[in-house]
Structure 1
């Protein structure tokens, strides 16, 4: 088992890709948020590995339009994208190689910058602990509640994404002001409230 803590221990989720291709037969990924094609997805396409991906469906469009476009363009039984409501896992099974279970989404920040925490279990470790059977059950259960990506669903999400972009632009100044707030201000404000309540 490997502990993946990104910058804290220098072990990143992206490191798994360096050695996984030779043993991987297929990738099953249940990851709520995906904004980038050039992380796991292109790796699968470039290595000609079948991919089944389940992402989150909600009003915030957690799976980006460019990601959905790539799946829709392929329209292949080898590269399947399905969406699920009330869905928040981050599990990637490189079948034959091992499984990541942790906090990282399929985003640049999660794979390069964020503090994330997860574990990677080799295929042998999964089998020895009977975790492979539990993972099979997990993927079977989410599949039962998943909707396949269709042109109609894509069009709905694309329209919603455009509306969210319009709102974001309209609120740009307020968002930038909030982003400029440092956590020291927040901590200081909490301390001030304690003094007042104790006084």
Structure 2
């Protein structure tokens, strides 16, 4: 099935299979896999990082805490599917050891420390970067953004209005307060993703 998805991924990238969207990649589910479509070259770099980090961490025995990245090319990456965490009040939140103890797998804090120190990973405690495994424990699904990539490429592109930044505000269409994708200071389109703004 994996080879079939790699060779013929485009038909799966439609609304019926949509899982989520970040600032640089859009995600679709196919059975036990997700297809991460690179919206910008920086998304490709994140996927390459995930592929390298997963294989290195798996060699150290930490594979269960990271969603496996099976394949990467300039257009897509294929990763193991993990059930996404629910939003709270229509927004993501910080994973806290004391508050989310029941969700934490064995060696959770150790793995985050290794990813921070050895791989320069960025934003490791945001709930949007996690999914849940079959046992209801956290698994990192988005771990390819490094601090250096964020500072040297993501921030300048976001400041130019090329990449969206997430703001928590009222949607101008549905009126619900939620995360909005805003493209620079001059972006006046305050619609949420559900109301049609990508």
TM-score normalised according to structure 2 size: 0.24
Relative to total residues, which structure has the larger helix share, 1 or 2? 1
State which structure, 1 or 2, has the greater radius of gyration over its C-alpha atoms: 1
